[in-house]
Amino acid sequence: MAKEKKLVEAITPMAEDFAQWYTDVVKKAELVEYSSVRGCMILRPDGYAIWENIMHQLDARFKETGVENVSMPLFIPESLLQKEKDHVEGFAPEVAWVTYGGNEKLEERLCVRPTSETLFCELYKKIVQSHRDLPKNYNQWCSVVRWEKTTRPFLRSVEFLWQEGHTAHATYEDAEERTIMMLNVYADFCENVLAIPVIKGRKTDKEKFAGALATYTIEALMHDGKALQSGTSHNFGDGFARAFGIQYSDKDNQLQYVHQTSWGMSTRIIGAIIMVHGDDSGLVLPPRIAPTQIMVIPIAQHKEGVLEKAEELRSELKEAGFKVKVDDSDKSPGWKFSEQEMRGIPLRVEIGPKDIEAGQCVLVRRDTREKRVVALNELTQVAGEMLEQMQNDMYARAKAFMDSHMTEARTYDEFKDAVANKPGFVEAMWCGDEACELKIKEDTTATSRCMPFQQKRISENCVCCGKPAKSLVYWGKAY
Amino acid sequence: MAKEKKLVEAITPMAEDFAQWYTDVVKKAELVEYSSVRGCMILRPDGYAIWENIMHQLDARFKETGVENVSMPLFIPESLLQKEKDHVEGFAPEVAWVTYGGNEKLEERLCVRPTSETLFCELYKKIVQSHRDLPKNYNQWCSVVRWEKTTRPFLRSVEFLWQEGHTAHATYEDAEERTIMMLNVYADFCENVLAIPVIKGRKTDKEKFAGALATYTIEALMHDGKALQSGTSHNFGDGFARAFGIQYSDKDNQLQYVHQTSWGMSTRIIGAIIMVHGDDSGLVLPPRIAPTQIMVIPIAQHKEGVLEKAEELRSELKEAGFKVKVDDSDKSPGWKFSEQEMRGIPLRVEIGPKDIEAGQCVLVRRDTREKRVVALNELTQVAGEMLEQMQNDMYARAKAFMDSHMTEARTYDEFKDAVANKPGFVEAMWCGDEACELKIKEDTTATSRCMPFQQKRISENCVCCGKPAKSLVYWGKAY
């Protein structure tokens, strides 16, 4: 029992220190290990398996919309990075530079890609000639590097895994349609697979991507009341096309610039899964993304027939399409329960000699600890129902949490009070002036998260300067 | 018709200039585009889709043997790379060095991983304590960088995609078992999925991996008679473990060093697919790896009902489990045939007004051009049979080609004659002395490809020095 205590005691309670709780979970659930390169993390099997599931499901959704995958170089020559003015200003300060190949100094420095707009522009310039070549809907799964000073596993690291989609279109409207389409793919994936409700909206100019006309975002709310930008989609208009000279001949044989987009989701979203669903016993994974959905744990496994029965149940559940394992290690059942809970495995099946005698087993949900004694011949059916119910309940709980952490602020005093005392999003009107965003950040540390697509008019004036309001903005502290 | 000619004329005939034929196919089949970074290639959708299929199928085979995927950092600190003496000597001359992060010079240079043994050693040192923690069977899918001077798409590039498996075991025997197991996974995958016959064997000490006790290889034979190393598997013994201090406590509570392996297959294998199966019309893809297995090409598609019928066939074939597309572009049928052949799509379905009237369609195999007129209600069955037959025939042809390009050499004159005049592998006995390998390379440009598992004794003496022979070796010119 001493050992069992140790595993749970190893995590700091969420209410005591949320940041420490997060770090503890990431480490104790064996998602991540630190490497000797500052800010670069190792994704261990359980961490990477979550990313694999995200990749497979998101990739299938991309392909349904006509996206094709490619692989672009890791390196960008300095001169190429510099071609689009806003873009280089945004990224140059935080890139890693390769200056030597073997023992030779390079004539031109190469940066390790922080994002690949410039590489895709170079490709599109080569392969797009006619309107028949459009659209190009390309994507790649890869890692990128940004030389961040302060890093945290999943949330901010020097190297991280992501996908980056880059498309080229004949018109602004086509590009805008793709931009919104991909934002909707992200939002739908978050809500239906990850059980994470999100706010869809547009970033203010201050917060948009370097080189974009418009950046759209989905914002999720973590359990500590801070927001996490969970996916972004950018419409570049023809800005990059003009900088790189990407033109096509239209149906009337006139040369036109292409219109481009890019959109990305990264391993950051794993941070969101942890901080939206986790609890003081560790990770809680939504059944649709869990690498292992069910852990069968034998009780008194040294007794005759127990391990065999556990294996039989595993095989039956696997046959029915579940991702299932048996923990037949020589640890105690209690220790196994703790581990299964720490790893966030959605459902546990307990099976011991008495259960076998009674022709039953015990199912326990990870999130609510709801326990059901189930006849063995109903196991697969009930397991399916419980997982489905858990998936839905997790979303409903997260949605209720988000809805109850929204504060409308009509005056600046209300606003400051909300940011200081009411964790979550603050809804307030804004005049459209960057100066107000800067003042708000200075005064409260809150930033504009987005101008939500679902606008409402809660007052006529900017919450900061009092001038006529242009838009409702969601504000908040953010990761 | 002028246009149609252009596409085929665009490739140099194989017999005229094999290297140029290869480059033409890679480019015209739109597998690869060059980037502005020397030696770094862009994988276009058709090229990357082949790699995706390789990844999915190989990954499933890995997982069946208990392999788990992880993600390791892109960078290796210089001091870490230097920990194992042979390893650093092998790789340091050809790595890319990051020296700046943002505007700051780094205290220690970081190399972009050329391979990740050192990173995995660092991880295993942290997470392996007890014999209960063994084995660790980890793998990652990623890209690596080697600063090659001369590069060719797929065959040798500065950056390339691969998988690298790295395992840790309690004993030498366990490590050896895993090393051979993975070599067999590669060989089976090549033969059964890629229709590429391979020779399994062990590398000589001169040709083995930097830091390995033993390197095993699969060697394939290209259409020009040159060999291509297609996958390797290394047993490190406890060499890395001693350099990095990776120890576990055994059942008797004694500290022991772990034994390690690594094994990899890369996008190089796509070069093998091209050079084993391609012809003067372009790529020929084995049905089991082709991203598109069947292309439906409507004839006289402006006529009523043709496009609808083509779409109906596509949908029927898709339903039956085939990867199928319709080419409904506004190009001529002849041009579409050329494109389908250039891209190596295994089967084409031709459907026009007369076919519809007769309730039939025409199936054409990419490799043999065998044409079959098929009743529409037998389409899916016949398509399946033809693809299966094509897969088998492709392997049989490649096997017959390899078998007929083997020359036994008993004297050095026979050896030199074989290398100069008989493309393919030369089988000859070897004394085990590196001096003979060096002399043979100097005299003939041929290198030792492997000591095959299937040994035979074709003479008693080394083909080079005449001393008593230790082993049969396959020799050849190689990529």
- Average pLDDT over chain B reads 96
The number of folded domains in chain B is 3
Say if CB B319 and CB B288 are below 8 A apart: no
Which pLDDT does position B1 carry in this prediction?
A: 40
| Pick from A9-13, A232-236, B248-252, B260-264: least confident | A9-13
Average pLDDT rounded to a whole number, residues B207-228: 96
CATH number, position A344:
3.40.50.800
Average pLDDT rounded to a whole number, residues A334-359: 97
Q: Do B97 and A100 touch (CB under 8 A)?
A: yes
Same domain, residue pair B449 and B334? no
- How far apart are alpha carbons A87 and B299 in whole angstroms? 48
Partner residue facing A73 (CB), from B42, B102, B142: B42
Same domain, residue pair B144 and B196? yes
Question: What value of ipTM does the predicted structure carry?
Answer: 0.95
CATH number, position A164:
3.30.930.10
pLDDT exceeding 90 applies to what percent of chain B? 93
Average pLDDT rounded to a whole number, residues A411-428: 97
Residues in chain B closer than 8 A to A126 (CB atoms): 33
- How far apart are alpha carbons B195 and B66 in whole angstroms? 25
Q: Do A97 and B97 touch (CB under 8 A)?
A: no
Spatial CB neighbours of B300, under 8 Å, sequence gap ≥ 6 = B306, B352, B353
Report helix, strand or coil for A215: strand
| Pick from A310-319, B49-58, B89-98, B320-329: least confident | B89-98
- How far apart are alpha carbons A282 and A215 in whole angstroms? 34
Tell me: the pLDDT tens digits for B424-463?
999 999 999 999 999 999 999 999 999 999 999 999 999 9
How many beta-carbon pairs below 8 A join chains A and B?
A: 153
Which pLDDT does position B80 carry in this prediction?
A: 93
Which pLDDT does position A84 carry in this prediction?
A: 84
Residues in chain B closer than 8 A to A72 (CB atoms): 35, 42
Search chain B and give the residue with CA nearest A101: B96
Kindly state whether residue A233 falls inside one of the protein's structural domains: yes
Strand duo B247-249 + B425-430: pairing: unpaired
Kindly state whether residue B344 falls inside one of the protein's structural domains: yes
Residue B2 reports pLDDT greater than 50: no
Residues in chain B closer than 8 A to A159 (CB atoms): 73-75
Search chain A and give the residue with CA nearest B41: A73
Task: Single out the residue in A358, A387, A416 at which a domain terminates.
Answer: A387
Full domain range(s) for residue A360: 294-387
Same domain, residue pair B272 and B302? no
Which pLDDT does position B85 carry in this prediction?
A: 83
Tell me: the pLDDT tens digits for A311-344?
999 999 999 999 999 999 999 999 999 999 999 9
Tell me: the pLDDT tens digits for B221-264?
999 999 999 999 999 999 999 999 999 999 999 999 999 999 99
Kindly state whether residue B301 falls inside one of the protein's structural domains: yes
Task: Single out the residue in A222, A250, A277 at which a domain terminates.
Answer: A277
Residues in chain B closer than 8 A to A124 (CB atoms): none
Instruction: Tell how far CA A369 is from the center of its chain.
Output: 26
Tell me: the pLDDT tens digits for B379-405?
999 999 999 999 999 999 999 999 999
Partner residue facing B102 (CB), from A44, A93, A101: A93
- Average pLDDT over chain A reads 96
Mutate to test the interface with A, among B33, B48, B164 (most CBs of A within 10 A): B48
Which pLDDT does position B9 carry in this prediction?
A: 64
Residues in chain B closer than 8 A to A47 (CB atoms): 70-71
Same domain, residue pair A245 and A271? yes
Kindly state whether residue A450 falls inside one of the protein's structural domains: yes
Kindly state whether residue B86 falls inside one of the protein's structural domains: no
Average pLDDT rounded to a whole number, residues A420-434: 97
Residues in chain B closer than 8 A to A142 (CB atoms): 143
Which pLDDT does position A5 carry in this prediction?
A: 53
Same domain, residue pair A340 and A422? no
Sheet of strand A227-237, all strands in order from the earlier edge strand to the far edge: A68-69, A136-145, A159-169, A259-266, A227-237, A214-221, A199-202, A447-452, A471-476, A425-430, A406-408
Kindly state whether residue A287 falls inside one of the protein's structural domains: no
Which pLDDT does position B8 carry in this prediction?
A: 58
Residue B366 reports pLDDT greater than 90: yes
Q: Do A35 and B93 touch (CB under 8 A)?
A: no
Q: For residue B93, what pLDDT band results from cuts at 50, 70 and 90?
A: confident
Which pLDDT does position B88 carry in this prediction?
A: 86
Same domain, residue pair A378 and A412? no
Residue A85 reports pLDDT greater than 90: no
Residues in chain A closer than 8 A to B143 (CB atoms): 71, 74, 142
Partner residue facing B77 (CB), from A36, A97, A158: A36
Q: How many CB atoms lie within 10 A of CB B107?
A: 6
- How far apart are alpha carbons A21 and A25 in whole angstroms? 6
Q: Do B122 and A51 touch (CB under 8 A)?
A: no
Same domain, residue pair A144 and A210? yes
Q: Do B44 and A96 touch (CB under 8 A)?
A: no
How far is the CA of A319 from the CAs of A220, A290, A312, A380, A386, in angstroms?
36, 17, 11, 9, 17
Mutate to test the interface with B, among A30, A35, A111 (most CBs of B within 10 A): A35
Average pLDDT rounded to a whole number, residues A467-478: 97
Kindly state whether residue B7 falls inside one of the protein's structural domains: no
Residue B5 reports pLDDT greater than 90: no
Residues in chain B closer than 8 A to A143 (CB atoms): 71, 74, 142
For chain B, the C-alpha Rg in angstroms (whole number) is 25
- How far apart are alpha carbons A56 and A72 in whole angstroms? 20
Residue A1 reports pLDDT greater than 60: no
Same domain, residue pair A340 and A216? no
Search chain A and give the residue with CA nearest B89: A102
Average pLDDT rounded to a whole number, residues B306-315: 98
| Pick from A7-16, A183-192, B142-151: least confident | A7-16
Same domain, residue pair B228 and B377? no
Tell me: the pLDDT tens digits for A237-281?
999 999 999 999 999 999 999 999 999 999 999 999 999 999 999
Kindly state whether residue B365 falls inside one of the protein's structural domains: yes
Q: Do A74 and B45 touch (CB under 8 A)?
A: no
CATH number, position B453:
3.30.110.30
Same domain, residue pair A249 and A343? no
Q: Do B73 and A40 touch (CB under 8 A)?
A: yes
Tell me: the pLDDT tens digits for B285-299?
999 999 999 999 999
Please report, to the nearest 10 degrees, the dihedral formed by the alpha carbons of residues B59, B60, B64, B66 taken in order: 30
Task: Single out the residue in A212, A242, A277 at which a domain terminates.
Answer: A277
CA angle B52, B54, B55 (to 5 degrees): 65
- How far apart are alpha carbons B115 and B153 in whole angstroms? 19
Residues in chain A closer than 8 A to B127 (CB atoms): 33, 44
Q: Do A48 and B42 touch (CB under 8 A)?
A: no
Strand partners, A415: none
Same domain, residue pair B204 and B323? no
Distance (Å) from the alpha carbon of B24 to chain A's nearest alpha carbon: 16
Same domain, residue pair A353 and A417? no
Residue B76 reports pLDDT greater than 70: yes
Percent helix, strand and coil across chain A, each to the nearest 5: 40, 30, 30
